[in-house]
Amino acid sequence: MNIFGDTKTSDCVGTYIYMAPEIFLQKPYNTAVDWFSAGVVLYEMAIGGHPFYKGKLHWTTIMGKVNDEPVFPKKLDLQLKAIIKGLLDKSPESRQKFVDNIRDHPFFTEINWTDIEEARACPPFQLPLPEVMTLSKMNPVPCFSKLMRLPIAEEDQQLFCGFTFASDGWKVIKPMPKPVKPHRRTFCSIVRDALHRIWRRIKRWK
């Protein structure tokens, strides 16, 4: 923002796979970094991969931007290859000089820049229009108030026990039965169970 003429900045911001090498080298830069990002995007669109991707480790891709040159398929269009190489130039000065007259590049021979600026240009490929949906084809959607009036299933009634509010449109919520407390064992019952177990073992021994 607000970088014009010879003005430069040194903030390190952006997505690292699209950032220009001068940003990683902590050098002051201008709008030439945006043209480098455009070159990365154009490379991805044309070839289907990143020009400097070296794996999941960030620093390997960064070092590739600083030191390596992009690899191009042999059958790639020469004009397309030339414009990508110009945008991915390591030198920001050479890159900026390259884009000064980028509209005159052979790659853009068929582009009418006046139509593009005045929003009159049509894209070379357009998606087919979707089928027009009429009200007669749309299924009626129940309103929220109707959905709230739906009764709760019997098995779900107990989930709402204890709530301080329940809609009047719902079924009557039945309270959950109180859990039956296990009978507290006395000393006599413990002795009796022990004697029964001993008696059963004596019978087995016979």
- What does the pLDDT look like over 114-159, one tens digit per residue? 998 898 888 878 888 776 655 555 555 555 444 444 556 666 666 7
Contact by Cβ (8 Å): 3, 30? yes
Residue 148 lies in a domain: no
Domain limits for position 109 = 16-117
On whether the CB atoms of residues 173 and 157 are closer than 8 A, the answer is yes
| SS3 state of residue 130 | coil
Is residue 133 assigned to a domain? Answer: no
Taking only the tens place, the pLDDT of each residue in 46-101 is 999 899 887 777 888 888 888 888 889 988 999 999 999 999 999 999 998 999 88
In a domain, 177, yes or no: no
Token reading at 114: 């006046």
Number of domains making up the chain: 1
Whole-model pTM: value is: 0.57
Give the integer Cα–Cα distance in Å for 95 and 106.
17
- Residue 85: CATH number of its domain: 1.10.510.10
Residue 36 lies in a domain: yes
In a domain, 196, yes or no: no
Does residue 189 fall inside a structural domain?
no
